[in-house]
Structure formats: structure tokens, C-alpha cells
Amino acid sequence: MALKPEKPATGILIKNTWGDAKRYQVVCDCGQGDHDHDVWVEANECDVGVEIYVTAKSNFWSRTRWHHVWQLLTQGYVRCETVVSMNRQQAVNYATILKQAVEDVEKFRKAR
């Protein structure tokens, strides 16, 4: 069975819209707020860009402090990861909203 995008879209919250930019909050299906991420769709003079912001957390206590310090000194970063789980409907909504937001800010950019 093919899923159709929902309105309002489950799991996708519009936070702000400014004409040349839109900001969404994508909620993780697990319900834990630490997994949510913000999606910004913005138009500038040349193109349209999509930026995804996440707050990654490390499993700091899984290793010693010295291990993390050594990794930071030798590699320049400490490895972290984050995940956003989406069910099928939320994934369809996400793709549709992302496509529509890009089209909307592109129209605004061209009208300017």
C-alpha cells in the first residue's frame, strides 16, 4: 500500500517561516527529545540550501577520560553519533515537506 503525505504531517513540526527560509523540527519516533533535529531550508542569492542541526551526545563514561583526551589531541575530535527513527508515514511526510520547502523558498528567491 502506497502512503500519501499527511497534512498536518506526523512527526514534522514547522517552527518558523520567513519567506526565504523555513525551519522544521523533526521528531524521533522513539519519543526521546534528545534525538530530534532541526531542518533549515534557506534561499540565498545563488541557490537553496538545506541544513540539518542535531545535538549529538557521546557515551563519555564508556571509556576513560584519558582515552577521550588522547583521541581529541591526536585526531582533533571526539566521535559522537545521533539517530532519528522514523516510521514509514513520517519518512514520506519528511520527504514531501522537504521538497515543498525547497520549492517555496526557491520561488521566493526568484521573486526577489
pLDDT digits (tens, 9 = 90+) for 28-58: 888 777 788 899 999 988 888 999 988 777 7
Q: Show pLDDT as tens, one digit a residue, over the chain (112 residues).
A: 688 888 878 888 899 999 889 999 998 888 777 788 899 999 988 888 999 988 777 766 677 778 878 888 999 887 777 778 888 898 999 999 999 999 999 888 888 7
What pLDDT does 21 receive? 93
104/16 Cα distance (integer angstroms): 14
pTM: 0.72
Please list, in sequence order, all residues whose beta carbon lies within 8 angstroms of the beta carbon of residue 79, skipping any fewer than 6 positions away. Answer: 58, 71
Which sequence spans correspond to the domains of the chain? 12-111
Burial-class residue 108 by CB neighbours within 10 Å (0-12, 13-18, 19+). Answer: middle
